[in-house]
Amino acid sequence: MSEAQEFANHIVDLLDPFGPCEARRMFGGFGIFHHGLMFGLIADGSLYLKADAESQALFEAEGSEAFSYYKQGKEYKLSYFLAPETFFEDPENCLYWARKAFDAALRNPNKSRKKKI
């Protein structure tokens, strides 16, 4: 098992009290999903959590930065912020940040997702 897969499994294990989560391979990393909705992103060995206008300031207050990547010389930032260290320190903080991220995902579902008729 690769180191990246082990880290993804570790994150899913940490999130067990939050409810059933899964790590799905995507874009060279992993998406972290709960009830089919992505609220976390693992890239370059780091966990990023979904944020929005309502929760972004909480992440910034922890010193977290948005996930970004470069394409054709241009920087793109996503609405996923580096998980604060407190996420990993105890189960209550893990749940707190998981809820913040999942709530942001609920408020901002993927617009490209097709609706079932």
The answer as to whether 98 is a domain residue is: yes
CATH of the domain at 90: 3.30.1460.30
- Region class of 35: left (phi > 0), else alpha (psi between -120 and 50), else beta: left
The answer as to whether 115 is a domain residue is: no
The answer as to whether 83 is a domain residue is: yes
How does DSSP classify residue 112?
T
The answer as to whether 22 is a domain residue is: yes
The answer as to whether 114 is a domain residue is: no
How does DSSP classify residue 80?
E
Helix (H, G, I), strand (E, B) or coil at 85: coil
User: Does residue 14 have a pLDDT over 90?
Assistant: yes
Are 44 and 35 a contacting pair, CB within 8 Å?
no
Q: What is the Cα–Cα distance from 79 to 41, expressed in whole angstroms?
A: 10
User: Does residue 9 have a pLDDT over 90?
Assistant: yes
Record the tokens describing residue 20, joined without a space: 């059933």
Residue ranges making up the domain that contains 79: 3-107
pLDDT digits over 36-47, tens only? 999 999 999 999
The dihedral of CA 79, 27, 3, 39: what is its sign?
positive
The answer as to whether 74 is a domain residue is: yes
Q: Give the total number of structural domains in the chain.
A: 1
Query: Measuring CA to CA, how many Å separate 86 from each of 16, 17, 94, 98, 101?
Result: 17, 16, 7, 11, 14
pLDDT digits over 57-113, tens only? 999 999 999 999 999 999 999 999 999 999 999 999 999 999 999 999 999 876 544
The answer as to whether 12 is a domain residue is: yes
User: What is the per-residue pLDDT for 2?
Assistant: 87
User: Does residue 53 have a pLDDT over 60?
Assistant: yes
